[in-house]
Each structure stands twice: as C-alpha cells, then as structure tokens.
Amino acid sequence: MDQSIRSKSVRWLRVVNKTEMLGLRPQGERTCLGFAHLLRTVPSECFPRKYCYSPRFTRCSKRSIRELKNQAPSQNSSSEIAVQVRDVCKTFQDKRKNLLTGRFRAVSVPALRGISLDVNRGEVFGMLGPNSSGKTTLLRCMSTLCKPDKGNVHVLGKHTVHQSAAVRKQIGCVFQDAGLDKILTGREHLELFGGLYHIPRIRCRRRIDELVEMLEMGPYVDRLTGTYSGGIKRRLDLALGLLHEPPVLLLDEPTVGLDLSSRRVIWNTVRRYAEAGNTVVFTSHYLEEVELLADRVAILDDGRCIAIGSPQELKQRIGGRRFTIRIQEFCSEKVAQAALEVLQHEGIVEDARVNAFEFNAIELFVQSELLNRLEIDPRADADSAYNSYTELLRQTLKTNGFELFGITQRGVSLSDVYLALAGRDFREADQAARLSEGSMKRQPKRSAFNAEPQ
C-alpha cells in the first residue's frame, strides 16, 4: 500500500478511537479499511450532520472533536441533572390574511424566547402555562422531534440534535394524540411495542402484566382499542411510554379532558414511577395537577420562563391572602366596577380587579403592608387581622349602598402567582390563546427536524 494512503488510514483510525472515547461510536465496532473505502472510513452516525461530506460516511478533524467536547455539559452537572435547557429559542412561520386585499403574508411567530432551566434526576418537573405559552414546543425539543433555532438541550448528558439516537433510547414520550390502531387489542399494542424496543419476550410479558395492574386496565386490555373510552386510551398510551422503563419520561398534558377516575390512576402511576428513581417532565394547564404532582414547576408565559421553584416556594414569594367580593350572585360589570371604585377611593384596596370569569366578582390581594397602613397589625394573630379587614370591607360597601352577596378569603394559589408575575389572569390568558388558535394555524418552517407545533 502506498505510504501516503497508509498515513491517511492511521490518522483516520485515531479519529475513530477518539469517537469511541467520546461515546459517539460503540466500542469494538469494525472499521472498513479497504482501499476503495479509505476516503469514507468513519460512519456518519459518529458526528453531526454539518460535518458530513457524503450521504453515508463522513470525514472529521480534530477541530470537530474539540467543538463536540465544548458542546457537552460538564460531568459534575450531568451526574445530578437529567435535562438541561440553555437559551432555547424557536420560531415558526404563520400566515395572516389581509382583510382588504385578501392575500396572505408570512410572519414569524416566536414560540420560545431564550428559555433556560434544569431538571434534576429523580424529580417530577411540571411546566405550567396557558395555551401557546411554549410548553409543547419545549417538550418536543427535549424529545428530539423539534430542533431549536438557538440554544442547546441535553438529556442525560446527550445533545438532542447531535446525539438524537442516544437520547431516544433514554426517554419515553406520551403526547396529546394517542397513536393507537383500533383493530388491535391493548395487549397486542404492548406486545408490538415490546418487539420494537427489542425487549426479551418473557421480560416483556412480565412488564405488560405489571403495567396492566398499575394502570387498572385488567378488564380492557384484551378488548379492541376501537371500543376504548378516552380515559382508557390515555392509560394505554401511558403504558406504551413506560414499557421499556425509560429513565426520563416526557408527558404532554397527560390528563387533559379525562374524568376524575382516570386522572387519579395516571397521577398515582406517575408518582410511583418517579419514586423508583426516574425523572418525569410533564406539561399542564391544570393548577391542581401541578400542585399535586410536581416537586418543582416552571411557569411559562409567551415563550418565556417567568418563575421556577416548588409550588410552595412560589406561593410564599407572593404571600398574603386573596379576597373575593361578590356584590350579587350574578353581578353586572357596571355594578362591580362602581363598587371597586368606591373601595379604591377609600384607600383600602391596592391590587384589585373585576374578574369576568367569576360573574364579575371583585378579586384582590391583601398583604401585611396594606394592613399596617390601615393600622391593622397582622403579627399578633393573622386570622384576626384578616377578619378585621373583611369587616372593614363589608362596612365600607354597606355605607355606600352596596348589599353584599358574600366575601371569601383564602391562601395564595399558583393562579395568583401567575397573575402577580404575568399581570393577567391564568384563565383569561388561556381563553385568549384558544381564540387566537381558532382563528390562525401556525405552519412550521421547512426543516427535517421540525414537527408541527402545538
């Protein structure tokens, strides 16, 4: 063999050994050194697509390897963090119609605006936000189905774009639409997916029995899925995601539209799976679901992460109590607004608004600073101080000719946290997004990595 060709083969063998050390190529894999393949030695799976010069194979350089090392997260963080998101941005294309000309024009719609967050190993991490806040798009970036325009996502230390095959072996995904075949039974679905996951037959049957018992699917697993209700379909879809026991489970609104019984079964299953040391990341716009399941929660609004912490920590940041004043059981907006103006004129309310979703009830936050200004000391007895404030509200409205239907007070919820941080009510934001989605349908940019956003 010519000396120059021999030196090239030795150099490329060193590159192959470096890819094995980086974990980008299985150790012991045979490398073709035939004369006709000397220029196509390293398989294309070893490096990202931007380093490929051939449809099947690629050449690489020391600089390419150095760049891949810099993209990977540090070993200290990867041992404690299951999912790492850094400055992720994503934009989709939308078409809007001009009402005068009738023509459509393309506009860019940002779905994610520089989100950064970490999900620790073994925790249940919730992403809370109204529709079109970016929850599903971020989850699809974690699952390798959507390529970020900017930023990086690592799952168990693997890059979701450059090492997507390795990431997919470590995750289980359950999205909103269940891909079930109505002519197969639930058990046949599980056996089919067990074969696709290359699970040994005996182990697969044992795992199927465990999931059927865990999800309470005994009476339904041998029936055709075309006869299933929505709740049973959702349970089967979750069983398919748990079948291969992935260390990271991604759930996109797992209980949306389900009855209370199915929601309870799914909640218990998710909690038991996390207690076994696995990581669960889920999205939801059900406040009670996030408070019940999540160890920590990220609140998203308009593609941005506005708060991260445990539900209790986020509520403690706001503090105080929330009051709801009903002038009438079904009050008109005009009457409610007049009562609110009276309270504001007397100076006994600060952060108050009329909530149209609660039949124009007046909602307000009351914190210790306001009580001190009104010479009501909350330090002696908080309940007595807030009861005194309630009586002050009642007397003020009665003096100005308003007959009250009722006044209630309660602690702070995640909805109040969203209102304080985003400046708008959670249900109002969700309803506005639903109306916007009904009038427009977003179209993603053409790319092999992009999927249809939700």
pLDDT tens digit sequence for 21-70: 344 444 443 333 333 333 333 344 444 444 443 333 344 444 444 454 44
Q: Using the 3D structure, point to which of 316, 332, 366 is the last residue of a domain.
A: 316
Same domain, 387 and 284: no
> Is 105 a residue whose pLDDT tops 90?
no
Q: Tokens representing 324?
A: 């709801």
% of the chain surpassing 90 pLDDT:
47
Q: H helices of 363-425, where?
A: 368-373, 382-399, 414-422
In a domain, 429, yes or no: no
- Contacts by 24-27, CB closer than 8 A, 24 or more apart: 24/68, 24/163
> Is 448 a residue whose pLDDT tops 70?
no
| Higher per-residue confidence, 186 vs 329 | 186
Same domain, 59 and 99: no
In a domain, 166, yes or no: yes
In a domain, 200, yes or no: yes
pLDDT band at 430 (very low <50, low <70, confident <90, very high): low
Average per-residue pLDDT in the chain?
79
pLDDT at site 47 = 41
Q: Using the 3D structure, point to which of 71, 98, 131 is the last residue of a domain.
A: 71
pLDDT tens digit sequence for 122-171: 999 999 988 889 999 999 999 999 999 999 999 999 999 999 999 999 99
Domain count of the fold of the chain: 3
Same domain, 128 and 143: yes
pLDDT tens digit sequence for 305-325: 999 999 999 988 887 888 999
Exposure string (b/e) for 222-237, b if CB count within 10 Å is 16 or more?
eeebeebeebbbbbbb
pLDDT at site 436 = 61
Closest CA to 280 of 87, 73, 77, 120: 120
pLDDT tens digit sequence for 413-423: 888 888 888 87
Domain containing residue 387: 320-411
pLDDT tens digit sequence for 324-346: 999 988 889 999 999 999 999 88
Arithmetic mean of pLDDT, 233-256: 94
Q: Which amino acid is at 239?
A: A
CB 408 within 8 A of CB 324: yes
| Higher per-residue confidence, 350 vs 205 | 205
